Amino acid sequence: MWSHPGIIRDMQKGMVRMTELKQTTEAQQSADVDVDKLMAFVFRSVEEVGATLNTALVVMGDQLGYYRAMAASGPTTPRRLADDTGTSEPYAREWLNAQAAGETVTYDETSGEYTLPPEQAVAFTDESSPAYLPGFFQLALGTMRDSSRVVDQVRRGAGFGWDQHTHDVHEGCERFFRPGYNAHLVSEWLPALDGVVAKLETAGTRVADIGCGYGASTIIMAQAYPAASFTGFDYHAGSIDEARTRAQAAGLGDRVRFEVAPADSFDGNGYDLVTTFDALHDMGDPVGAAEHVRSAIADDGTWMVVEPMAGDHVQDNLNPVGRAYYGFSTLLCTPGSLSQEVGLALGAQAGPARIRDVVTQGGFTRFDRVAETPFNQVYEIRP
């Protein structure tokens, strides 16, 4: 609809008339407006609004089982989808049309049926796939729900803590990152560290997972390496409660424990491996955390830090992944850091050079980037 030539011409004429009426203003005297570029931006902004609304629609489809029902049934209609999910047909109809307009599902105008392509079925229903996306959308929706509260803090120069966010932020974060950890942590990231796998296979090896959240990374490692013992630490008590529940459900209660503790004061020492997954940049005092890790790690130990994919310069990150992470950084990561002591506010796109600087100030001497995915990069840090 938005690309129809007649609509574009009518809107362009309107913009030209508006320009003529305002041509005596100071702004118009100082700058020439390219109407074609202006209208192109308007239409791109319409797509942006549609994409913003789609975040809620994806979460809705996930919660109501729409994607799973379509993956199981094949081509469907609003009535069949409503019947399959026990929901209302008018909602199913409008949801399907929105998904078709956004090219998530296809629409056959002859049969009136909607189909979820196999690729989208993987992305929205297969929790074992690293391409699984519902958690990403849930995290984004929860972040946006809290945005008005963050705006108030921006005006005051204050922070907004992780513990202050809605449940969708906490659960969505775990659901987004867990598939990637499942796909890469044991098969690629840990083997990329010098001598670490051999240690993990040895009885008595001790691992501390700092900023563990719901414990996904801790549990994945514990399941893969039964000879080692694991402790997850996080300052958010609600996440630790959930992590304990999940560890018990996984049958790991004897080898995995979870404790409420910030990164700069967790207990224990002589750890053979310390891990931090997508959390260092969120800390108020990452240098202080690095200093504490240095005091808690064995002399021949390893600190594995997993951080969002980022380059060292702004221009390196002006891409779709960087855009998403800068958005989360503005509304989630930076406010979280500013809510804590020091409030260094590294941001989600800190990049290797800034992470190296943090851990070097913390007393570490070896820093290497050893692995990466489209969403993460993995650092090996040693005393």
What CA–CA distances, in Å, run from 203 to 199, 225, 227, 251?
8, 10, 5, 19
Contact 344, 337 (CB under 8 A): yes
Average pLDDT, the chain: 93
What gap in Å lies between CA 234 and CA 232, rounded to an integer? 7
Task: Identify residue 7 by its one-letter amino acid code.
Answer: I
Tokens of 249: 């459900």
Q: What's the Cα-to-Cα distance from 70 to each of 56, 64, 66, 119, 185, rounded to whole Å?
A: 18, 12, 6, 13, 31
For the segment 332-356, what is each residue's pLDDT rounded down to a tens digit?
A: 999 999 999 999 999 999 999 999 9
Say whether pLDDT at 263 is over 60.
Answer: yes
CA distance 175 to 86: 25
Rg (CA), the chain: 24
Domains of the chain from N-terminus onward: 34-125 (1.10.10.10), 134-382 (3.40.50.150)
- Between 210 and 23, the more confident residue is 210
Q: Collect all residues with Cβ–Cβ distance below 8 Å to 101 and sequence separation of at least 6.
A: 50
Residues 113, 77: Cα–Cα separation, whole Å: 5
Contact criterion met (CB below 8 Å) for 294 and 261: no
Look at residue 24 in the predicted model and tell me its pLDDT.
43
CA neighbor of 187 nearest in space, from 374, 381, 373, 382: 373
